[in-house]
Structure 1
């Protein structure tokens, strides 16, 4: 059984249809990349998965359970974690304290469990040396790492990454990709929206292409990037 399933999910804001009849499955431990031009409905799709907005039609299933009407907090506690495109940590708290908030309230861990989990995540995400630093003063790469770490602290089975590599240098992007690969190798399923394609294709097994809110195709990175439609619509190149 897939860990996450969307069935005929649609969302419109007035006359504007942003997500149109989207259906796909995510298997446990799988990494799926989502690409598409600006305005294709990618971030709206994440908001539908996390419960920040409700669909006008269709259903969202987690482990076969219909969670379409569940709140974002309930979905978080059921195993859906998320990073945001623009990191927004609690700037007055330290890196470690940011993780404790996620572990205590998102994962509902006891104090001892939360402390142990946060120490493990700090090491896994390369933030151990910055644990006591105020998060508001971190570099962009460290803020991106913290955004990823906070999502992990909720004990997710699925992590949604929203353009987490954006704005990084080539070297910084490579470091972050290595961290994400390690998290994926530990068995966590990932859905990753990204415009930095070389980063995305180092991690994901499949790509989903969105265009005007509809699924254009799903396939391996090689299959998708070889598609004339994808090159024409997403890359802006004539087939």
Structure 2
């Protein structure tokens, strides 16, 4: 049974259709990449999965349960975690305190379990040396790491990554990719929206391509990137 499945999910804002009968299934332990041009509906897709947007039609199933009408908090507690394109931590709180807030409100663990798990996450995400540093003083890479750490603090079964590598140098991007690989290897299922394709394809086993809210292709990365229609729509290459 898939850990996450969307069946004919649709969403419109007036005449603008931002999700057009989107269907796909994510297997437990899988890493799936989502690509498409700007405005294709990638972030909207995440908002529909997390419940930040209500679907107009179709169903969202998570871990065997229909969560289509469930609010974001319920989905988070069930095990859907996410990052956002622009990290917005509590800047006056320390890195460790930011994780405590995420863990306390996004999971069902006891206070001691929360503290112990947050300490482990600081190690996993390379932030242990900055635990007592205020979030507002962090550079971009460390803010991205904190965004990832806060999502992990909610104890997700499925982690949604929204362009988390954007704006990083090549070296910083590789560091973050190594961390994401470790998270995936630990058993967390991942759906990753990203424009930096070499980073994305070094982690995911399948790619889903969106254009104008519609799934136009899905398959192995090599097959997708060799597709003439994908190259024309996503890369702007006439073929």
* Band the TM-score falls in, shorter-chain normalisation: over 0.9
Q: What is the deviation of 1:206?
A: 0.4
For the residues of structure 2 that align with 1:138 and 1:60, how far apart are their CA atoms?
Answer: 36
User: Unpaired segments of 5 or more residues in structure 2?
Assistant: none
Q: What pairs up with 1:193-204 in 2 under 5 angstroms?
A: 193-204=193-204
CA distance in 1, matches of 2:105, 2:39: 33
SS in 2 for 1:108: coil
**1:176 aligned partner:** 176
Q: Distance in 2 between matches of 1:153 and 1:135?
A: 16
Q: For residues 80-101 of structure 1, what are the alpha-carbon distances to aligned partners after superposition, in whole Å with 9 as ceiling and x for unaligned?
A: 0000000000001000000001
Deviation readout 1:39-83 (Å, 9 max, x if unpaired): 100000000000001011000000121100000000000000000
* Corresponding position of 1:72: 72
Cα distance, 1:214 vs structure 2: 0.4
Aligned counterparts of 1:128 and 1:109: Cα–Cα separation in 2: 21
Aligned to 1:121: 121
User: Is 1:218 the counterpart of 2:209 in the alignment?
Assistant: no
The equivalent of 1:63 in structure 2 is 63
Is 1:109 paired with 2:109? yes
What corresponds to 1:187 in structure 2?
Answer: 187
- Deviation of residue 108 (structure 1)? 2.4
Secondary structure in 2 matching 1:119: helix
Deviating 4+ runs (over 6 angstroms): none
Give the drift of 1:26. 0.3
Distance of 1:108 and 1:99 partners within structure 2: 14
TM-score when normalising by structure 2: 0.99
TM-score using structure 1 length: 0.99
Distance 1:10 1:127 in 2: 39
